[in-house]
């Protein structure tokens, strides 16, 4: 094997080593982000938080609205159409019904607020994960840019070296072809 072939193989090995170094550096940088995304801490909810989530999901559903409207309709019908006053436990203007509605609203509002606060915390964590994913993509792009820059640099060096060798060969040929 001649000297130029050895140089070519040597430079190719150096080139591969540089690429491997860039890849390893990228993997090291991404390791923490990937671990955070894959191994998210489990959400530990207290009994009260679980109840508030269930109440909020039921209280904000059509099932609740329809059921509540039916109960109110039955309440009004019963207290309006009952034949004797002994059966009318809440006659018109339905003061007991208004009291119960006010209590339900007063209790339901803070429970729904607790659930919304927890959902807000989940959304914040989700946005942090999105940020980490975007950061990971940015690191990948930076790594690709480094690889491309390295490849271009190596190619330019190889071209310059090749041109220099070709010039030397041309000079040798020119010296050998000139008659003395």
State pTM to two decimals: 0.53
Q: Dihedral of CA 171/177/179/180: which sign?
A: positive
What is the rounded CA–CA span in Å between residue 84 and residue 87?
6
What is the rounded CA–CA span in Å between residue 26 and residue 34?
12
Provide the number of structural domains found in the chain.
Answer: 1
Q: What pLDDT sits at residue 7? A: 66
pLDDT at 112 over 70: yes
Q: What pLDDT sits at residue 13? A: 77
Among 30-34, 80-84, 140-144, 148-152, the range scoring the smallest mean pLDDT is 30-34
pLDDT, one tens digit per residue, over 62-107 is 999 999 999 999 999 998 888 777 778 888 889 999 999 999 999 9
Structural domain for 30, as ranges: 3-177
What does R_g of the chain's alpha carbons equal in angstroms? 39
pLDDT at 48 over 90: no
What is the rounded CA–CA span in Å between residue 129 and residue 25?
22
């Amino acid at each position: 094997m001649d000297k130029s072939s050895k140089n070519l193989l040597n430079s190719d090995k150096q080139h591969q080593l540089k690429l491997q170094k860039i890849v390893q550096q990228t993997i090291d940088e991404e390791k923490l982000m990937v671990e955070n995304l894959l191994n998210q801490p489990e959400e530990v909810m207290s009994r009260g938080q679980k109840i508030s989530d269930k109440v909020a999901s039921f209280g904000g559903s059509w099932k609740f609205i329809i059921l509540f409207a039916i109960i109110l309709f039955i309440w009004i019908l019963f207290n309006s159409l009952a034949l004797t006053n002994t059966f009318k436990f809440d006659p018109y203007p339905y003061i007991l019904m208004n009291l119960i509605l006010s209590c339900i609203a007063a209790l339901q509002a803070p429970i729904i607020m607790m659930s919304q606060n927890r959902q807000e915390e989940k959304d914040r964590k989700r946005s942090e994960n999105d940020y980490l994913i975007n950061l990971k993509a940015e690191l990948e792009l930076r790594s690709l840019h480094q690889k491309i820059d390295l490849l271009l640099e190596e190619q330019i060096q190889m071209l310059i070296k090749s041109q220099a060798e070709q010039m030397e060969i041309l000079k040798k040929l020119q010296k050998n072809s000139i008659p003395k």
